[in-house]
Structure 1
Amino acid sequence: SEMAADGSVDFAIATEALELFSDLIMMPCYRWNRCILVPRDHALTQRSLVTLEDVAAHPIVTYVFGFTGRSRLDEAFVEKGLEPRVVFTAADADVIKTYVRLGLGIGIVAAMAYDPDKDADLVALDASHLFASSITQIGCRRGTFLRGYMYEFIQDFAPHLNRALVQKAFQCHSRVELEELFSHLELPVY
């Protein structure tokens, strides 16, 4: 987001800390939630429904704070009065999976990061009942002249963000106006 704000790159695609960049026009793309990754023989695979207390009882490997929806995870533990035992953090889901495979803890990652074919040695336990969903957004600097290919990229990434809607977003003068503009959207869930 910082690079988009200073003009080094055309777009920012982000989930967190967007309020720090008031000069970016951010548009919602999709909702996503998390899963818990464990080895096939892990005790949590025997639970019909994993609780936050179950998760807190294990060492956790997850995203770096301020990255990829990590604050939603932390908020869930705080609300329950639990202290997560985060033993390792990484910015990349593949690194987290490697740590899980090494037995360093259970992984909490974006559900879309689990590939049943490539990750057949791991079990993905649904965690959507434990954590609030996150919204990934795309945006660029206010005042940017959007070229045709830029509109196409935005719409390829988020099909509901057509040229007319993006143009309306760029006419908004505040985050409140932007939120109002997009309040009617039914975002895809991944």
Structure 2
Amino acid sequence: MNLHQFRFVQEAVRRGLNLTETARALHTSQPGVSKAILELEEELGVDVFVRHGKRLRQVTDPGQQVLRSIDIILREVANLKRIGQEYSQQDSGRLSIATTHTQARYVLPGPVGELRRLYPRVDVSLHQGTPEQVAQMLLDHRADVGLATESLSSYEELVTLPCYEWQHVIVVPEAHPLAQDPRPLSLKSLAEHPLVSYQPAFAGRRRVDEAFAAAGLQPRVALEAIDSDVIKTYVRSGLGVGVVAEMAVREAGALEGLVSRPAGHLFGINITRVAFRRGVFLRHYVHALVTLLSPQLTPAVIDAAMSPSPAGPN
């Protein structure tokens, strides 16, 4: 029994039981993967997978328990490596961050820049995706920390902490009627115009849709995008009224010909959360980044959340 066998089994499940993809991901041969898995099954005395010919079809019931043990073993092996690096290479390493476009573009530049100043020998990898992809990158050990507004708290395998709150704003050209109207914005007044906003998986779009639905309104969404700058560009071109995260209008020059109006009273408050894979040992520079993002998330708070104790927050 060895770690290579464990990795082959774990990766086979991640790759949808496709041994060709498994071998490619692990830079080895498909026959080698098949042989290693069979040898592990023989040593355990149980089948981990149901087969049809040479193809894997599904994980057996005992295989599910084997997978849980393999996951724990490989996680702890990775933790041992991180602990060694923490004490032998205290000021160096690589920090992998999984996040959405809005966080990467508007929230992370300052904290990441400060982290690099504090730890010049720590390199940063930034991976962008949907909130679901952010969660999956954490689960697949491709990221050390995740940052997103949606989805992260729904995964039992992840520890999540509230990082900061934000709300939506409306952006319109300076000459637009909504820019001139002194009255507070209403859902009814917004629904009279085509909207330009995020795709459904991003940046609190679900709250926007739910607010209109609760009011019995069905606004026309003229364009959907994942990028706030793209949304603002199309608003400038007259395509419609923009609905963006407030972070997207904070920078000097971010509006440029546009007017922003608060919309938190219409769509509520959103919470961006930071997430880690449960049970993972966190290097000190991971703690540092999170504290830079949200000062109340001190190393002690993070460690308490990561603790297996039932008294700790999740």
1:32 aligns with 2:184: no
| Structure 2 residue corresponding to 1:89, chosen from 224, 228, 231 | 224
Tell me the alpha carbon deviations over residues 51-109 of structure 1, each in whole angstroms, 9 at most, x when there is no partner.
10011111111111021111111111111011121111111110111111111111000
Tell me the alpha carbon deviations over residues 122-156 of structure 1, each in whole angstroms, 9 at most, x when there is no partner.
00011111111100011111111101111111111
Tell me the alpha carbon deviations over residues 9-47 of structure 1, each in whole angstroms, 9 at most, x when there is no partner.
111101012244221111101110011000000011122
Letter in structure 2 aligned against 1:42: H
Q: Secondary structure at the match of 2:300?
A: helix
Change (3 A) 1:145 1:81: same
Q: TM-score, normalised by structure 2?
A: 0.54
Structure (1 or 2) with the larger CA radius of gyration: 2
Letter in structure 2 aligned against 1:30: Y
CA distance in 2, matches of 1:68, 1:75: 14
1:146 aligns with 2:282: yes
Aligned to 1:62: 197
Q: Secondary structure at the match of 1:178?
A: coil
CA distance in 1, matches of 2:207, 2:259: 22
Aligned to 2:179: 45
Aligned to 2:235: 100
Asked if the contact 1:30–1:135 (Cα under 8 Å) also holds between the matched residues in 2, the reply is yes
Asked if the contact 1:142–1:170 (Cα under 8 Å) also holds between the matched residues in 2, the reply is yes
Question: Identity of paired residues, percent?
Answer: 42
1:15 aligns with 2:175: no
CA distance in 2, matches of 1:173, 1:60: 47
Asked if the contact 1:2–1:21 (Cα under 8 Å) also holds between the matched residues in 2, the reply is no
1:168 aligns with 2:304: yes
Change (3 A) 1:42 1:172: farther
Report the RMSD for the aligned CA atoms in angstroms.
Answer: 1.8
Q: Secondary structure at the match of 1:140?
A: strand
Q: TM-score, normalised by structure 1?
A: 0.87
1:123 aligns with 2:255: no
Q: Secondary structure at the match of 2:264?
A: coil
CA distance in 2, matches of 1:18, 1:33: 18
Larger relative contact order (Cα-Cα within 8 Å, sequence gap ≥ 6): 1
Shift of 1:4: 1.3
Gaps of 5+ in 1: 180-190
CA distance in 1, matches of 2:227, 2:269: 19
CA distance in 2, matches of 1:172, 1:88: 45
Asked if the contact 1:5–1:21 (Cα under 8 Å) also holds between the matched residues in 2, the reply is no
Q: Which runs of 4+ in 1 moved over 6 A?
A: none
Gaps of 5+ in 2: 1-134
Aligned to 1:159: 295
Change (3 A) 1:41 1:10: same
CA distance in 2, matches of 1:127, 1:173: 40
CA distance in 1, matches of 2:304, 2:175: 51
